[in-house]
Structure 1
Amino acid sequence: MAGHSKYANIQHRKGGQDKKRAQAFTKIAREIQAAVRLGGPDPNANPRLYRAMASGRAINMPKDNIQRAVDKGGGAGAESLDEIRYEGFGPGGIGVIVECLTDNKNRTAGEVRAAFTKHGGNLGETNSVSNAWKRVGEIRYPLSVGSEDAMLEAAIEAGCDDCAVEDESHVVVCEMNALAGAAQQLSKKFGDAASAKFVWRTDIAIPIEGDSAESLLKLIDQLDDLDDVQDVYSNEDISDEELARLSA
């Protein structure tokens, strides 16, 4: 199933990695805060917190940053973060799902709507996109941790449903209720995952090219840059040749 398609490759080639790294730290910190507020500060008793902290360690997020996020999420003055999902269609009819954590719903709604409007898309009703997608658990590791066969064997032993190479990563897919156990089992062999979280995936991929593809990537890039946006999912199918042209 497709998630973010080949967009991660575009991001990598566009540069600005320091900015992306800082944004990643911010998004993980917000996820840690939300996890602590909902399930407490003990990662062994809070699977969501365990996954968020592991994701932080996997991208070398400083321990002090992680601890500050835990403390902030459990403090008396912890901010209330609401989880909101927006769904819409980008150029070429591409489905886009945007997941947010926000302390101001009006601000987030306005920023997300403005991004869609600017780049030729439009927001839809709840389930207008996700009704053709499935919510699953996803665990990602860099290719350097081992071979495809080794990862596949470990994934099967952990009770996962699928294992493939996507966007220069090992991607393991499982049912939502199996994610915590599978992530912990895989970590014993491969260490902390680059990410372990619930994601949206679909078997429907829509071909897109030219100006529509360029506008779509700009839309996704703008959404990813928003502080309140945690994840963006889209089902475009862009050829390698078109990706090379767009990233030139």
Structure 2
Amino acid sequence: MLCSIRNFVKVFNIYHELNATSRRYAGHSKWANIRHVKGLKDAERAALFAKLSTQIKIAVQEGGSIDPNANIKLEHVIEQAKRVNMPAATIQSVLKSTQTDKSQCKSYILEIKGPGNCFLLCEVFTSSIHHLKQSIATILRKNSSKFCDGIANNIFEEKGIIEAEIQLDSLKNKEQILEKATDDAIEAGAEEVTDIGDNVLQFICGSTNLKLVTQCLEKSGYNIISATIEYIPLKSQSMSENQMDAYNNLYEKLSKLPGVIRICDNIETE
């Protein structure tokens, strides 16, 4: 369980670049906060832009507006798209398409038991969940995995994850930064705050309080980098090298499917 706001909490998740299998420690999933993407090959860039386009559509659907000023989730997705040099014309085209597309795409969370008894949550966005589940089931059968409905509430906890850059001003050291961040987190209604480096702090809050906490932090002078709903594992699973190889292969296959937005897992990090 998450501990008090003044205590450090480990948040386990997995990130894979489009062609990499290295693991990193952080508090949100693969597509939630895309950073420092440079020199991508054409195919990789196209895949990245396709994922971001889908994220924009989801943000519009969930936020109810194509105006970033009135839709905080959309605002942050567009900021992420700009950071990886997604053309403004492409972003506008995607926004325009949300007003004319009548395909009725919806978001779904699919629960999966993977190699080494790890568990995955696979977020998808599709107008044909039956067809997509068939494609995923084929991949699962070939990778020692299966659908496992009903695990989410026992293995994962839904939380709001905010990454924010702090304005240093008169703050001179890490202790002062964390002290101010802790006070601001309490005032905003956040549950946890962690320094993740480069003057960036990670705040954890209840998923239903994400918008309110984000707005409070903005009023306190923070530059919001991302604000997303994530699934944080309550129980972690250790994996052997062979099991990790099998998982990485599964992840790669799933992430290439059209409609798959992000994949969260409960694999224990070192």
User: Would the TM-score normalized by the shorter structure come out above 0.5?
Assistant: yes
| In 2: Cα distance, 1:152 partner to 1:113 partner | 48
Say which SS state the counterpart of residue 258 (structure 2) adopts: coil
Q: Of 130, 153, 176, which aligns to 2:207?
A: 176
Cα 1:179/1:108, change in 2 over 3 Å: same
Residue number in structure 1 paired with 2:56: 32
Q: Is the 8 A contact 1:207 1:237 kept in 2?
A: yes
Q: Secondary structure at the match of 1:172?
A: strand
Kept after mapping to 2: 8 A contact 1:208/1:238: no
In structure 2, give the amino acid aligned to 1:128: I
Could you tell me which amino acid in structure 1 is paired with residue 129 of structure 2?
Answer: K
CA deviations 1:111-137 (Å, max 9, x no partner) are: 221222221111112x22443211111
Cα 1:139–1:115 shift into 2, 3 Å: farther
Q: 1:124 aligns with which of 134, 148, 154?
A: 148
Partners of 1:89 and 1:214 in 2: CA distance? 15
Tell me which residue corresponds to 1:246.
none
Equivalent residue for 2:229?
198
Equivalent AA in structure 1 for residue 78 of structure 2: M
1:99, distance to aligned residue in structure 2 (A): 0.6
State the Cα deviation string for residues 34-93 of structure 1 (Å, max 9, x = none).
Answer: 333450222233333233323323433322222111111122x44321111110111110
Looking at structure 2, the residues matched to 237 and 153 of structure 1 have their Cα atoms a distance apart, in angstroms, of 31
RMSD across aligned positions (CA): 3.4
> 5 Å matches for 1:66-105?
66-75=91-100, 77-105=101-129
Q: Which residues in structure 2 correspond to 1:117-156 (within 5 Å)?
A: 117-125=141-149, 127-140=150-163, 150=177, 153-154=180-181, 156=183
> Which stretch of the first structure deviates more once superposed, 110-119 or 3-12?
3-12
- 8 Å CA contact 1:179–1:196 kept in 2: the answer is yes
Give the Cα separation in 1 of the matches to 2:164 and 2:252: 23
Change (3 A) 1:112 1:56: same
Matched residue SS, 1:99: strand
State percent identity of aligned pairs: 19
Runs (5+) with no aligned partner, structure 1: 240-248
- Counterparts of 1:51-62 in structure 2, within 5 Å, are 51-62=76-87
The superposition leaves residues 142-195 of structure 1 with CA deviations (integer Å, 9 ceiling, x where unpaired) of 99x9986647744651522223366998533211133224445556755451x3
Counterpart Cα distance in 2 of 1:185 and 1:207: 37
2:184 equivalent to 1:157: yes
Does 1:207 find its partner at 2:234?
no
- Indicate the residue corresponding to 1:244 in structure 2: none
**Residue of structure 2 aligned with 1:4, choices 5, 8, 13:** 13
Contact 2:160 2:206 in 1 (8 A): yes
Displacement, 1:234? 0.5
Larger radius of gyration: 2
Check conservation: 1:136, 1:198, Cα contact below 8 A.
yes
Name the residue aligned to 2:29.
none
1:148–1:25 CA distance, 2 compared to 1 (3 A): farther
Contiguous gaps of at least 5 residues in structure 2? 1-9, 25-37
Determine if the alignment matches structure 1 residue 23 to structure 2 residue 47.
yes
Q: What is the CA distance between 1:238 and its match in structure 2?
A: 4.7
Q: What residue identity is the alignment partner of 1:48?
A: K
